Amino acid sequence: MILRIAAILALIAGCGALAVYLHRMGELPTATRAERHLRRMKDRATAPEAATPVTVEAIAALPKRRPLAEYSRLESRAVILEG
């Protein structure tokens, strides 16, 4: 009886750990649009066609905590950090 309870608890803990991992990776069906966008950007296999030079000040001036529609076009481009 105790062995069965331990096995059930181990199974529940394993399923919970898997769910936490998938949530952190943005792979769950319940992921937000922003999480799915981030996962797509991290998983892309080809680099953008052209790279734009940017400064540290330009990166600091990027919008923070904005809706996905405002920053998704910025994330799809390649940049070269100068300075």
Give the other-Cβ count within 10 Å of 61's Cβ: 10
CB of 78 within 8 A of CB of 52?
Answer: yes
pLDDT in tens, the chain (83 residues): 999 999 999 999 999 999 999 888 888 888 888 888 888 878 888 877 788 888 888 888 887 888 877 777 777 777 888 76
Q: Which amino acid is at 32?
A: T
Give the phi and the psi of residue 34 in degrees, each rounded to 5. -65, -40
pLDDT at residue number 47: 73
User: Can you give the residue ranges of every domain in the chain?
Assistant: 46-83
Element (H, E) at 82: strand 78-82
Query: Could you give the CA distance from residue 42 to residue 47 in angstroms, rounded to a whole number?
Result: 11
- Identify which of 83, 71, 76, 69 has the alpha carbon closest to the alpha carbon of residue 51: 76
